[in-house]
Structure 1
Amino acid sequence: MHKKVIYKSVLVLTLVLSCSCNKYLTLYPQDGTTRQAYWQNKEQLQSAIIGIYSSLIQGTASTSNKASSSPEMAETLFIWGELRADNVSAGSNATADEVNLMNENILSTNVYANWTSLYRTINYCNNFLKYAPDVLSLDPTLTKAKLDSYMAEALGVRALMYLYLVKTFGDVPLKLTPTATDNDLVLLAKSPQKDVVTQILADLKTAEGTALRTYGDQASDKGRITLYTIYAIEADTYLWTYDYANCIAACDKIIGSNNFGLISGNSSFFNTMYANGNCNESIFEFQYDGSTTQVNPFYGLTGGAPAAQLIAQANVIGGLFPVDPNDDKNVDIRSSIAVNSGLQAIWKYVGTPNSSAQLTTTTSYRHWIVYRYAEILFMKAEACAWIGGRGTEALQIVLQIKARANSIYVQGLSLDYPTDPTDALAVTNYILDEKNREFIYEGKRWYDLLRNAKRNFPNNISILTNALALVLQPAFQQTTLAKFRDVNALYMPIPNSDILLDPNLVQNPFYK
């Protein structure tokens, strides 16, 4: 088992980098000698870089009353990536904000219209990128190579945070300098999405030159930014912007490294991928560990079924994972991992293999997987579908993953298998259908639907509306279809609290 803790809360880092308010645009840092005394040696630099990773798992687990708090990052990423899509339903303890997200009835006061956790981490990265280089002249034992590798990590984390932000909000404030003193407080306007993407790619290209391939141990290789994480973020960014050639090139760097692969789809799959974590298929994960009380938020969200906040959508059970009518032993191994059908429970984060037992609030420390090798294959497949002349290659990639999962469709062409590999839209629909099975509840589904719905908007909006027709309450179906005639409705509103504090921030057009 490779579940060694690699990020721990660093008190001095919190004193140096944290701010007294939670809101990004009103971050008030510690002034005075604390910061001046901190950036002095390589040991402090090591603490600072680990502190960036610690910020990814800071926060309190989900509760039914979050009105006065900011959801922690993994919870935010799960909600953003899943609740507006077609795999989640409201449980008996769902909050009003969760139900409103599912029904596309979104206000800027929704607790999940909140970017605090991401901008907090961005500020940690900005502090590191500004002050870390000064340590090179202060500590003769710090090498330039070590400093540069740390800088690559900070650039990679910052790029990842901004990628999530543009996928979720569209245009967002772009801040590249730290809020390190009171004089650094800036009221920022939004930057166009294309400018933020340009900065993301610039950061990643810089990081490519000095990011490490390995730290020498499995937990660090999966819990810290490596060169392969940089490539994964690049591939994701290029796919988001429909730059298919560069997406394929980034994917091929990971594939060609031979450092990753699809793990076996045997009886140990659940334990290896999710219960233990940090497996060979993994590229980057948030490292929770119950031994240090670093538990994830998912028991609060999906635990306690059937009386959970969030449960599996009914069509997932039997629809997304149908049983072979001719052989009930021929099942997709991902079905029982995704859902406990008896409880209608989302099972990946709170369930136990081959059992109806659930984890508890103190043992809910499954990792949040940001990237794994299977997604690299899916990203390459989608890019191949659209680049021209590579549709057959795209389908063959998907069949690799179907085979690993023992999917009932592997044995022959199903009705959804495209008969014309040059039909990019049909091939893409096939890819998205299978990717949904593979990555259900891993925070991918909404972004996959959104990315494809906004391509040549509004021509492909049916990719999104057809999926949502399964889950929207009848009272909201027509209004949602009308909303989605405006591409701006596909993004989240800017947090109302930040609009009130920053006169330079303008609400996203649909929500004005």
Structure 2
Amino acid sequence: MISKLKYILLLCIVGISMSSCKKYLTLEPQDGITRQDFWQTKEQVSSAVYGCYASLLAPPLVENLFLWGELRADMLQTGVRATANDFNIINVNIQPTNPITNWSAVYQTINNCNTVIDLAPQVLQTDNTFKQRDLNGYVGEALALRSLMYFYLVRTFREVPLKIKATTSDEDNFQLPKSSEAEVLTQIINDLKLAEEYCFTTYGNRDHDKGRITKYAVQAMLADVYLWKDDYENSIIYCDKVINSGQFGLVEGSSWFSTVFYEGGSNESIFEFYFNQNRLNPFYSMFAESTKRFTAALRVTEEVYTIDLFDIENKDIRGDGAAARFNEGTIWKYHGVNSGTGRSPSASFAHWIVYRYPDILLMKAEALNQLGQVDEALKLIKIVRDRANALEATETFETDPADPDYTSAINTPDLAKFILDERAREFAYEGKRWYDLLRNAKRDNYDQRSLLFDVVIVTASPENQQSAVAKLQDDNSHYLPIYFTELEANKQLIQNPFYVKTK
């Protein structure tokens, strides 16, 4: 615990030292990190890398990752503190003036990573104790973090400026056009493959292995990126690298919630943002009883997890008292100590989990299903469901080959929906739901577009439902607009097409 506290305190101190004024994409030079006289020792490189991690803890960043991944999906319901901006996103009435579309905090992290990638190599010339292996490790971490940020951006906005050089002076060019989705994804994959080569498998203690990028975190990202690209063979290759490492497993039993979400850094964890008492996450006030901005949607109880009416003790461990408290609708993953005890405001330091081991299992199941390997996909789903004690009411298909009802005569779209539903149960409120829906909807030339229609039918207000469905017919509406201040600052930027048409 002492090592974790020291580590996070260092992140916070470095992060505070890097605060600065706003500029296009927040790419301005950073006092204390880009000055040429800073890049002299390996300790300074280490501090700069920790600064990249610290920037992940900025409240606007992680709040946006939650909102981008959940607000347009079907697991949230608005509470008493919901804003007009929240309602506009839910009702597919999104304008470029909506601050939820502001990407500046993400680009701040990207520029911090660019700075390490560009300037750390020069320290080899000034510090003879700094070795190439150590440099490669730090650069690998920065490449992977930058890739993660771009992966969030490309799934949310589709086309974004691709800035891969550090902003180190006022003479740098801030006028950047958007790059295509294909260009951004290609850059991400190339960077992650280099990061896989560079990054370490371990840093020697659990908190660093879970709170910093390892080779396994890079492989998880590559599996996810390839799945987004419908490249199922490569997605399976990288899932298998994580699985075959033997470094991860599923946490089982009644301690699952407190181990994974309260303590953090569990055996399931592959990579997570480490909040702490000195750097709280923004979720307490967002979900607290008296200030709820959001609650769990009613369908979470009724459809996602369901209830065993004949045995109330028989329940999915991921549902009541984990994802949410069903009797009051409180979103619990960031609020609970255990299934019955909540955190205080000063203890709002639940980690933001980017990848857990069940994500790897279900990504592989999804890819296998798309390749027609139904039996193998069902085996992986069964592993996840058995650990969770998933209820029979949510079992669309029998997953046990020994059961008389088992059959592999299942069509791919139906099993894809089963996997999508299982991901909803496993990753409720972890910022994945919208991306899961969109990935499935757009597959095979939007063969499953109805998934998006189903969302707004249950989330949009009655007077907005027809309009929302009509808007979702346009593929461009599935991505957010560029925030208006970015367009004002950068004349090379062109607004996402759907929002030009509806302006």
TM over 0.5: yes
Q: Is the 8 A contact 2:336 2:342 kept in 1?
A: yes
The answer for the alignment partner of 2:402 in structure 1 is none
Q: Does 1:25 align with 2:22?
A: no
Q: Is the 8 A contact 2:91 2:456 kept in 1?
A: no
Shift of 1:474: 1.1
Distance 1:217 1:100 in 2: 44
Distance 1:173 1:364 in 2: 34
Q: How does 1:100-115 map to 2 (within 5 A)?
A: 100-115=88-103
Q: Does 1:288 align with 2:289?
A: no
Q: Does 1:494 align with 2:477?
A: no
CA spacing shift, 1:134–1:10, aligned 2, 3 Å: farther
Distance 2:15 2:309 in 1: 58
The answer for the alignment partner of 1:41 in structure 2 is 41
CA spacing shift, 1:424–1:332, aligned 2, 3 Å: same
The answer for the alignment partner of 1:220 in structure 2 is 208
CA spacing shift, 1:482–1:410, aligned 2, 3 Å: closer
Q: Is the 8 A contact 2:26 2:104 kept in 1?
A: no
Q: Write the deviation string for residues 389-438 of structure 1: whole angstroms up to 9, x where unpaired.
A: x1111111111111001112299766999955551111100000111011
The answer for the alignment partner of 1:363 in structure 2 is 347
Q: Is the 8 A contact 1:494 1:508 kept in 2?
A: yes
Counterpart of 1:326 (choices 290, 310, 328) is: 310
Q: Write the deviation string for residues 10-37 of structure 1: whole angstroms up to 9, x where unpaired.
A: 667766x65421x443643258997121
Q: Is the 8 A contact 1:214 1:226 kept in 2?
A: yes
Distance 1:374 1:497 in 2: 39
Q: Write the deviation string for residues 317-350 of structure 1: whole angstroms up to 9, x where unpaired.
A: 2322212233322211111201112221111101
CA spacing shift, 1:138–1:39, aligned 2, 3 Å: same
Counterpart of 1:255 (choices 243, 263, 270) is: 243
Distance 1:294 1:14 in 2: 11
CA spacing shift, 1:423–1:217, aligned 2, 3 Å: same
Distance 1:344 1:438 in 2: 17
Q: 1:40 is paired with a residue of what secondary structure?
A: coil
Q: Does 1:440 align with 2:428?
A: yes
Counterpart of 1:387 (choices 359, 362, 371) is: 371
The answer for the alignment partner of 1:192 in structure 2 is 180
CA spacing shift, 1:465–1:256, aligned 2, 3 Å: same
CA spacing shift, 1:3–1:375, aligned 2, 3 Å: farther
Distance 1:203 1:111 in 2: 30
Distance 2:295 2:426 in 1: 18
Q: Is the 8 A contact 2:25 2:107 kept in 1?
A: no
Gaps of 5+ in 2: 400-404
Distance 2:363 2:147 in 1: 18
The answer for the alignment partner of 2:282 in structure 1 is 297
Counterpart of 1:468 (choices 452, 456, 471) is: 456
CA spacing shift, 1:10–1:480, aligned 2, 3 Å: closer
Q: Does 1:129 align with 2:117?
A: yes
TM-score normalized by the length of structure 2: 0.93
Q: How does 1:42-441 map to 2 (within 5 A)?
A: 42-59=42-59, 72-264=60-252, 266-290=253-277, 293-303=278-288, 305=289, 307-336=291-320, 337-355=322-340, 357-388=341-372, 390-409=373-392, 421-441=409-429
Q: Is the 8 A contact 1:458 1:485 kept in 2?
A: no
CA spacing shift, 1:261–1:248, aligned 2, 3 Å: same
CA spacing shift, 1:484–1:40, aligned 2, 3 Å: same
Shift of 1:140: 0.3
Q: 2:89 is paired with a residue of what secondary structure?
A: helix
Q: 1:285 is paired with a residue of what secondary structure?
A: strand
Distance 1:391 1:140 in 2: 55
TM-score normalized by the length of structure 1: 0.92
Shift of 1:267: 1.4
Distance 1:464 1:3 in 2: 45
- Same amino acid, percent of matched pairs: 44
Q: Is the 8 A contact 2:74 2:297 kept in 1?
A: yes
Distance 2:31 2:248 in 1: 45
Q: Is the 8 A contact 2:305 2:391 kept in 1?
A: no
Q: 334-343 or 281-290: which moved more?
A: 334-343
Q: 1:149 is paired with a residue of what secondary structure?
A: helix
Q: 1:320 is paired with a residue of what secondary structure?
A: helix
Q: Is the 8 A contact 2:148 2:221 kept in 1?
A: yes
Q: 1:85 is paired with a residue of what secondary structure?
A: coil
CA spacing shift, 1:14–1:138, aligned 2, 3 Å: farther
Q: 404-413 or 455-464: which moved more?
A: 404-413
Distance 1:431 1:210 in 2: 33
The answer for the alignment partner of 2:4 in structure 1 is 4
Distance 2:384 2:58 in 1: 34
Q: Which amino acid aligns with 1:160?
A: L
Distance 1:105 1:341 in 2: 29
Q: 1:330 is paired with a residue of what secondary structure?
A: coil
CA spacing shift, 1:161–1:411, aligned 2, 3 Å: closer
Q: Is the 8 A contact 2:26 2:105 kept in 1?
A: no
Shift of 1:58: 2.2
CA spacing shift, 1:463–1:142, aligned 2, 3 Å: same
Q: Write the deviation string for residues 463-498 of structure 1: whole angstroms up to 9, x where unpaired.
A: 222233222211111111111111000001111110
**Aligned-CA RMSD value:** 2.2
Distance 2:394 2:24 in 1: 52
Q: Write the deviation string for residues 229-279 of structure 1: whole angstroms up to 9, x where unpaired.
A: 100110110000000000000000000000001111x11111101000000
Distance 1:2 1:164 in 2: 32
Q: Is the 8 A contact 2:27 2:107 kept in 1?
A: no
The answer for the alignment partner of 1:66 in structure 2 is none
CA spacing shift, 1:47–1:465, aligned 2, 3 Å: same
CA spacing shift, 1:18–1:127, aligned 2, 3 Å: farther
Gaps of 5+ in 1: 60-71
CA spacing shift, 1:399–1:26, aligned 2, 3 Å: closer
Distance 1:38 1:13 in 2: 16
CA spacing shift, 1:143–1:112, aligned 2, 3 Å: same
Distance 2:180 2:34 in 1: 36
Q: 470-479 or 82-91: which moved more?
A: 470-479
Q: Which amino acid aligns with 1:282?
A: S
CA spacing shift, 1:142–1:408, aligned 2, 3 Å: same
